[in-house]
Amino acid sequence: MQIKSLLFAAFCVLTIAACKKDNDEIKGFGSIEIEFDNQAAGSALVFGKDYTNAAGESLQFTTFDYYISNIVLVTADGARFVVPQEKSYFLCKHDDADTREIKIDDVPAGDYTSIEFMVGIDSAKSVSPIGERTGVLDPAAGANGHYWSWNSGYIFVKMEGTSPVAPPDFGNIFQYHVGLFGGFDSPTLNNLKTIKLTVPDEAAEVREGKGAPHFHLFVDAMAIFSSPTNVSIAATPFSHGDAFSATLSANYVDMFMIDHVHNP
């Protein structure tokens, strides 16, 4: 009996020590990284390569850019870390890989199993004074080519390319520029979309003093043509803030998925 009691006591001491060690590790702050890996037809997106959309139309991409904002990280037990607004606006460009790898510092330590973000720029920031919109939000600089001066709004997703079925008089190009946040002086469409993704297996383990875990996201450019509504370039080669943009924004909700999380 005495031996059993000693063994039990030793087990309890080891268990408590292990729990204390785990609790000590999950404290403080760390960093996370998010990679947006653009895909098409099951492999890395390549500008100038031939693809076929759900309507059976051949096409090539020349531009694929999108705004990511309002990022939220969620732990396994439901705790939410809302990334501060001033650190939560990114313009991801396919032809600039550095823009598609985001690092967020000062993240509370924890095991993060899901991530939320908005595609686009929220209405509050869209109507804020120009002086408060810097970096990728500055219409004259970082947002150049991604802002409608005539509509005072950001282009949330900008997709351009060529296709034999697009109008030859315009060089066989197609252009999809999706924006609109609901309007300021008068109502418009609201094409802001919030994406919520859950990790497929391993949680992102943020720990103080350790390397940043890495969310690896796939972004399927072809989804804008097919999910849930098939889009024909021949039927609609251009969309610049019109009613059809609602179809495109509903489709690109399904562009995003977490492929895996890599912990250092």
- What digits encode the pLDDT tens for the residues 7-28? 444 444 444 444 444 554 788 9
Contacts 24+ apart (CB under 8 A), 44-49: 45/94, 45/221, 47/94, 47/95
Residue ranges of alpha helices (H) inside the chain are 2-25, 123-126, 245-252
CA angle (134, 103, 45) in 5-degree steps: 90
Residues 231-255 have pLDDT tens digits of 999 999 999 989 999 999 999 999 9
| pTM for this predicted structure | 0.89
The pLDDT value given to residue 23: 53
Euclidean distance between CA atoms 88 and 178, whole angstroms: 20
**Domain chopping of the chain, boundaries:** 28-262
Omega of the bond leading into 187 within 30 degrees of 0 (cis): no
Distance CA 235, CA 216 (A): 35
Residues composing the chain: 264
Mean pLDDT score, 30-44:
97
Looking at residue 227, its pLDDT comes to 85
DSSP assigned state of 121: -
Burial group, residue 209, by CB count within 10 angstroms (0-12, 13-18, 19+): exposed
Distance CA 73, CA 85 (A): 13
The mean per-residue pLDDT over the stretch 116-142 comes to: 95
Residue 213 burial (10 A CB sphere; 0-12, 13-18, 19+): buried
